[in-house]
């Protein structure tokens, strides 16, 4: 049988109130009683019950984190950052895989509410109104990571997607490329879709390159779907010398498809990715890409959330710095 605070109180000949005080480092006991209480705790191998504590404190020291796909390299990197920061601050993480499914998300939100989490981090997906309403009803702090929203009360931490894409595109242009295609996301996606496409377009325009809409392919971000986009690209636009892929997986899909057709990267076609997952350096050839500081973003999100929890203060959103990591998939044209 696990011992409770009563057991140690009895054995130490004090009241549970006193035990509670030494446990929580509150004032109100002599050095002597502290010593005996501590000794008894040791003898009984007593550990406080966080559930009982949570019930009364209205704090569970746990935060819920929602990802569209926990097993993606992207999510796991963010998760790692969150976990690391949170653990140091004595918070635990419960992970939720929404599978980008509304019902599943709502179910998880309900579970998190019932379990009285102290706060929630919502990652990579658009915060639908339905979710927002549920979150508001829960009345806990929320922070967004790798996404944003129109709800001003919800802070986010993310990269400037428009700008990052603009720079990726200019990088290609400065390397002498003029025939540039893009493998992006769905244009209706307001997070990782539209802004990146818009940044791409603007960079082209600002550099006097005619925009050709047929050179923008929807690759759905993941490898499989991007593979068909890449096939398409290569067969319909052989004049293209460089492509900007809005995710590393899509960039790698392009490389794979090119290899299959005997087209070599970067000699015959250049490509720059987006994310800088571990994948990128393991790629063959190693992938030049736009780095998002995913781990750091997770840490910052956890930091913000925890300060909202503890101080009830409003917190400001944060744009994280991106940067270009030059590896071997972009060739300088003469």
What phi and psi, each to the nearest 5 degrees, are found at residue 258?
A: -60, -45
In whole angstroms, how large is the CA radius of gyration of the chain?
26
Pull the structure tokens for residue 12. Answer: 């130490």
213 within 8 A of 237, measured Cβ to Cβ: no
Judged by CB under 7 A, which stretch of 9-17, 211-219, 266-274, 320-328 contacts DNA? 9-17
134 within 8 A of 144, measured Cβ to Cβ: no
Q: Name the minimum Å distance from CB 104 to a second copy.
A: 8
Instruction: Give the CA count within 13 Å in the CB-facing half-sphere of 269.
Output: 28
Judged by CB under 8 A, which stretch of 143-151, 172-180, 197-205, 278-286 contacts a second copy? 278-286
Site membership for a second copy, residue 261 (CB under 8 A): no
Site membership for a second copy, residue 325 (CB under 8 A): no
Q: Which of 39, 42, 43, 49 binds DNA (CB under 7 A)?
A: 49
Pull the structure tokens for residue 56. Answer: 């009364």
Site membership for DNA, residue 57 (CB under 7 A): yes
Q: Which does 249 bind (CB under 5 to 8 A by kind): a second copy, DNA, none?
A: a second copy
Site membership for DNA, residue 52 (CB under 7 A): yes
- CA 227, 229, 235, 240 dihedral sign is negative
Q: Which of 263, 286, 315, 317 binds a second copy (CB under 8 A)?
A: 286
Displacement of CA 164 from its chain's centroid (Å): 17
Site membership for DNA, residue 6 (CB under 7 A): yes
d(CA 138, CA 114): 9
d(CA 250, CA 244): 9
Indicate the residue among 12 and 257 with the shorter CB distance to DNA.
12
Judged by CB under 7 A, which stretch of 15-23, 252-260, 274-282, 314-322 contacts DNA? 15-23
d(CA 54, CA 57): 5
Residues of this chain that interact with a second copy (CB under 8 A) are 2, 45, 47-52, 54-55, 60, 62, 69-73, 75-77, 79-80, 83-84, 87, 90, 92-97, 104, 108, 110-111, 113-116, 137, 139, 223, 249, 252-253, 255-256, 259, 278-279, 281-286, 295
């Amino acid at each position: 049988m696990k011992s409770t605070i009563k057991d140690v109180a009895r054995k130490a000949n004090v009241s549970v109130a006193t035990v509670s005080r030494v446990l929580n480092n509150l004032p109100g006991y002599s050095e002597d009683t502290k010593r005996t209480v501590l000794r008894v705790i040791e003898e009984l191998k007593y550990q406080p019950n966080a559930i009982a504590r949570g019930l009364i404190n209205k704090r569970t020291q746990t935060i819920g984190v929602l990802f569209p796909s926990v097993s993606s390299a992207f999510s796991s990197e963010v998760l790692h950052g969150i976990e690391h920061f949170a653990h140091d601050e004595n918070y635990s993480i419960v992970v939720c895989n929404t599978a980008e499914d509304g019902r599943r998300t709502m179910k998880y939100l309900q579970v998190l509410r019932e379990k009285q989490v102290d706060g929630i981090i919502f990652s990579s997906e658009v915060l639908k109104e339905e979710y927002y309403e549920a979150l508001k009803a829960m009345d806990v702090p929320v922070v967004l990571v790798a996404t944003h929203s129109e709800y001003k009360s919800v802070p986010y931490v993310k990269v400037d997607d428009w700008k990052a894409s603009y720079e990726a595109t200019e990088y290609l242009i400065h390397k002498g490329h003029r025939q540039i295609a893009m493998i992006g996301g769905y244009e209706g996606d307001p997070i990782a879709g539209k802004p990146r496409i818009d940044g791409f377009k603007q960079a082209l325009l600002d550099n006097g390159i005619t925009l050709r809409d047929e050179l923008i392919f929807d690759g759905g971000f993941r490898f499989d779907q991007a593979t068909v986009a890449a096939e398409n690209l290569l067969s319909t636009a052989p004049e293209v010398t460089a492509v900007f892929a809005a995710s590393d997986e899509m960039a790698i899909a392009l490389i794979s498809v090119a290899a299959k057709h005997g087209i070599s990267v970067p000699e015959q076609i250049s490509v720059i990715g987006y994310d800088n997952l571990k994948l990128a350096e393991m790629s063959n050839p190693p992938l030049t890409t736009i780095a998002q500081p995913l781990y750091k973003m997770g840490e910052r999100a956890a930091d913000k959330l925890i300060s909202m929890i503890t101080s009830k203060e409003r917190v400001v959103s944060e744009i994280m710095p991106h940067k270009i990591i030059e590896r071997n998939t972009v060739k300088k044209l003469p």
